[in-house]
Chain A
Amino acid sequence: MSAPVLADWLAAAEKVLAELANSCLAFDGVERTGHRTELPRTLPGAYVPLVTPAGSLQVGIAAEIEQCRALARALLCMEPEEELAPADVADALGEIVNILAGGLKARMVESAPSISLGLPIFINGAIEPTDKLEFAISEMRIGPIPASLVLVQHKQGA
């Protein structure tokens, strides 16, 4: 079995995100509205590393801060008007991505064995693109919330 390419990971991540949206966010699924290969430079988001023998991959969800807050509120079953501190938004979005990464690992383990999960980080700024990084991004609507499903991989041999 050949090693999965970034597009395989992204397709699997979309499926896991749909399951996650239906279960712990209580939304009616997700919709893909487009694809990108470059991340908007200042979009905040949470990322979890998946480390395989072939290299490392970051999976993340990035969105405008108000959309990050809305996703955090959905996870915590909060009302839209309830206040949520920035650290709690980062923590909750990190947990959403942690669950996403765990589901992705389970879905990909047969074609990419020995995957290890890292810990989530929240980036409120830009991931500087370099010629060593490859991005695959699906523009999604998670329930009513627009967000980017982001995969970042070090290019093979880079």
Chain B
Amino acid sequence: MKILIVDDSKAMRSIVLRALRQAGFGGHSFAEASNGAEALAAIEADCPDLVLADWNMPEMSGVELLQALRERGNEVTFGFITSESTAEIRELALKSGAAFLITKPFNAETLQKTLAGVIV
């Protein structure tokens, strides 16, 4: 599978990647983007199988990215990894088409459980 990690923090992108490897998903192909606009271009060019995105980012937020994808008919599997965790945000994420929302801080076990049925 091709997995795109979208976060404006380089530190968090490396933490997500490390946790994915620790969770047993290291055999997949990974790419990174630092905001929603960059991710949108990368998704249209490379057609990843899964997008893991932060919520709050400059230029285009994670939910704006998700909404832009769905408006264009792109149904790529999309999940959030974010410090946002209120019921309001979860509801908006799911309503916009996200498959899941993982709250930071997270660990490899959380990723393993959440992504077990998503990454094959």
Contacts and interface: CB of A to CB of B under 8 A. Distances in A.
A53 B46 CA distance: 41
Interface in B1-34: 8-12, 14-15, 18
Contact of B15 (A76, A102, A105, A106): A76
Interface residues of B, number: 21
A95 B18 contact: no
A95 B81 CA distance: 13
Contacts of B82: 102
A102 B11 contact: no
A76 B16 CA distance: 11
Contacts of B84: 102, 105, 117
A102, A117, A118: most-surrounded residue (chain B CB, <10 A): A102
B83 interface: yes
A103 B83 contact: yes
Interface residues of A, number: 23
B83 A102 contact: yes
A75 B58 contact: no
A88 B13 CA distance: 12
Interface string B87-103: 01000000000000001
B80 to A, nearest CB: 12
Contacts, number: 55
Judged by DSSP, the binding face of A is helix
Nearest to A24: B105
A117 B83 contact: yes
A102 B9 contact: no
Contacts of A88: 10-11
Interface in B61-120: 82-86, 88, 103-105, 107
Given A20-B105, A23-B105, A77-B18, A98 B83 contact: yes
A14 interface: no
A62 B18 CA distance: 27
Given A75-B15, A76-B11, A77-B18, A119 B85 contact: no
B45 to A, nearest CB: 25
B56 A92 contact: no
Nearest to A72: B11
B83 A94 contact: no
Interface of A: 20, 23-24, 72, 75-77, 88, 91-92, 94-95, 98-99, 101-103, 105-106, 109, 117-119
5 contacts: A76-B14, A76-B15, A95-B9, A98-B83, A103-B85
Interface of B: 8-12, 14-15, 18, 56-58, 82-86, 88, 103-105, 107
